Amino acid sequence: MTDGKSGPRWITETLHEEGGLRTSYRADRVLFEEATDHQHLVIFDNPTFGRMMSLDGATQVTEKDEFVYHEMMTHVPVFAHGNVRSLLIIGGGDGGILREAVRHAEIEKITMVEIDPAVTDFSKTHLPMVSAGAFDDPRLDLVFADGAKFVEDEGDGYDVIIVDSTDPVGPGAVLFEESFYRDAKKRLNEGGIIVTQNGVPFLQPAELQSTISKFHRLFRFSGCYLATIPTYVGGPMAMGIGTDDEFVRAVTLECLERRFEAANFPTQYYTPEVHKAAFALPAYIQRLVDAARA
């Protein structure tokens, strides 16, 4: 996409701008761009990463590497738990987490709470390959509401809660507050697990430490695991995890292999071996976690 004078248009990632870092993606075609009531959204095609979605200057999802994030956010807690019947997704309007969740036949109920209906509508239209029809699954209860207010209210319990939020700015900031985590814990069934996205520790150490310190006060086990996602620059991405069931961290490779074989679906990134290895933290990240727990 060009304007005839300045050449191709580049969509700039400004998430780490204060630290002196920008990343730009060439937009060969812009499919949609609009400021909604909640955020600025743009969907475009890039020759390397395929179709991409950016919210408020931060890349949210790309066609080519979304499977890494969505598989690791979903399958790690579900296979670690081993008996998930109900699952809650906070955010995740593109439907990628939902797509991976519906692959688990044993899950009976999936509730998805998205604050902005426009994100889901745009994703269904322009990123249908991400949800892959998951919005039509009969187990889904799709709710358009503030996720923080949803967990604050009385309601059903869940075995796993996945917080697929933006970074802690704008409408996503409330999903990093201790009051939200406390309310979410109240909605967890016994032995339940909460998983959050916590950015790239090399560039966003405070984001990870903030969540770990809050989880440490709320849960018997608090920690994180890692996944390498090409479009999230600066090293591996951290997923925070909190639970009162310490077996989640100690689940054996043999147990994970049995559960994965029984699930009987293919993956592109997740394997039982990757699951176990994801909890082996580089020293600089382990020090961040240890400091947050102190």
Among 258, 219, 241, CA closest to 82: 258
pLDDT value of position 162: 98
Q: Which CATH class is domain 66-293?
A: alpha beta
Out of 56, 94, 159, 164, the active site residue is 164
pLDDT digits (tens, 9 = 90+) for 70-95: 999 999 999 999 999 999 999 999 99
Report CA-CA distances (Å) from 235 to 22, 46, 197, 205, 285: 15, 21, 14, 12, 11
164 is catalytic: yes
User: Which residues of the chain fall below pLDDT 50?
Assistant: 1-4
What residue spans define the domains of the chain? 9-62, 66-293
pLDDT value of position 36: 67
Does the domain at residues 9-62 carry the CATH identifier 1.10.1740.10? no
Q: Is the pTM of this model over 0.85?
A: yes
Distance CA 294, CA 285 (A): 14
